[in-house]
Structure 1
Amino acid sequence: MRDLDKALADIVAIRSQIAAGTAFRGYGPATMAATGAVALLTAILQFWLLGDPTGEPLGFFLGWFIAAALSGLIIGIEMRARSHRHHSGLADAMIHQAVEQFLPAGVAGVLLAVVMWKFAGETLWLLPGLWQILVSLGIFASVRSLPRTVALAGAWYFVSGFAVVVLASQTHTLSPWTMGLPFVIGQSVMAGILYVASGDHDVED
């Protein structure tokens, strides 16, 4: 029984090593573009419906949490389908690796929002820029299993995050556009990079 457990553990380790050296093809360009559209729609709706986002921070951030959850769901569904199509037996290991790379940045974004909301509500104007910086770090962490050019999208979010912090520091206000536009551009850049890097431009992929 001990030998069987060791053999199974060795197989899992080998699969993980193979997955670590394989380019992940679970992200599709169409889905990345769709998440950019979600960001744009969220910004437009908040512009119409929230007269004063700074005075209604709960509505502002709730809208973006919903947008992030919807985008994550869209990406997750396609990631699973594409991974099983492109990676077959390695699909689960590849998905686990992709999630593991981005998860710290995602968890940090959620916890940062909770802590700032609970203990430093007057600093919430910083959160949109900080979220973009965390997204950039998540992308940089994923570069080793994605086309290297995705670093351009990471660089965009890094620069836009600091730019948003600088702009917001002048008024300490929240704006749907300082969230929406950087994500529209960043996700469009990701979509373009994945489209070019895929080598086959099948819409289904």
Structure 2
Amino acid sequence: MRDLDKALADIFAIRSQIAAGTAFRGYGPATVAATGVLALATALLEFWWLDDPSDYPLSFFAGWAATAVVSLALIWTEMQARSQRHHSGLADAMIHQAVEQFLPAGIAGLVLAVMLWKFAAEALWMLPGLWQVLVSLGVFASVRSLPRSVAFAGGWYFVAGFGTLILASQSHALSPWTMGLPFAIGQFLMAAILHFASGETDVEE
């Protein structure tokens, strides 16, 4: 039994090593771009419906949370299909690796939102910028299994995040556009990079 467990562990380790050196092709450019459209649509709807988002922070962030859930569902669904098509037997290992790279930033964003809401509601104006910075860290963490040029998208989110913080610091107000525009531009940029970059030659060794 010990030999069988060791053999299975060795196989898992080998599969993980192969996956770590393989370009991940589970992200579809069209779906990534669609999440950018969702960001713009959410910003537009909140601009129409919320006279002053700072007076309705729960509604403001609930709208963006719903957009994030829909976006993640779209990406996850296509990730499963594309991974099976492009990575075959390595699909599960590749998906696990992709999720593992982005998960810390996602969890940090969720915990940060809850913490600010419960203990520092007056600082909620910082959350859009902080979320963008965390997304940039998630993108940078994914560079080793994606085209290296996705670092440009990570750089955009990093700069946009701090720009949003500086802009919002003047009034401490929430705005649908300081969420919608940075995320839309970032997702469109990511989609363009995934579309044009060569997944076989533009990935870090």
| TM-score (norm: length of structure 1) | 0.96
Whether 2:118 is the aligned partner of 1:118: answer: yes
Q: How far is 1:198 from its partner?
A: 4.7
1:71-117: CA deviations, max 9, x gaps? 00000000000000000000000000000000000000000000000
Give the C-alpha shift of residue 120 in structure 1. 0.2
Structure 1 Cα separation of the partners of residues 2 and 115 of structure 2? 46
Say which SS state the counterpart of residue 188 (structure 2) adopts. Answer: helix
Equivalent residue for 2:170? 170
Question: Within the alignment, does 1:144 sit opposite 2:144 as a pair?
Answer: yes
Residue aligning to 2:15: 15
CA distance in 1, matches of 2:172, 2:190: 30
In the alignment, which residue of structure 2 is the partner of 1:74?
Answer: 74
Flag structure 1 segments of 5+ consecutive residues without an equivalent: 200-205
Question: What is the match of residue 95 of structure 2?
Answer: 95
Partner of 1:106: 106
Give 4+ residue runs of structure 1 displaced > 6 Å after superposition.
Answer: none
Q: CA deviation at 1:70?
A: 0.5
Q: 1:60 — aligned with what?
A: 60
CA distance in 2, matches of 1:74, 1:143: 21
State the alpha-carbon separation in 2 of the partners of residues 84 and 148 from structure 1: 23
The CA distance in 2 between the partners of 1:106 and 1:69, in whole Å, is 12
Alignment match, 1:202: none
Q: How many residues align?
A: 199
Q: CA RMSD in A?
A: 0.7
Equivalence for 1:203: none
SS at structure 2 position matched to 1:170: coil
Confirm or deny that 1:85 pairs with 2:93.
no
Partner SS, residue 174 of structure 1: coil
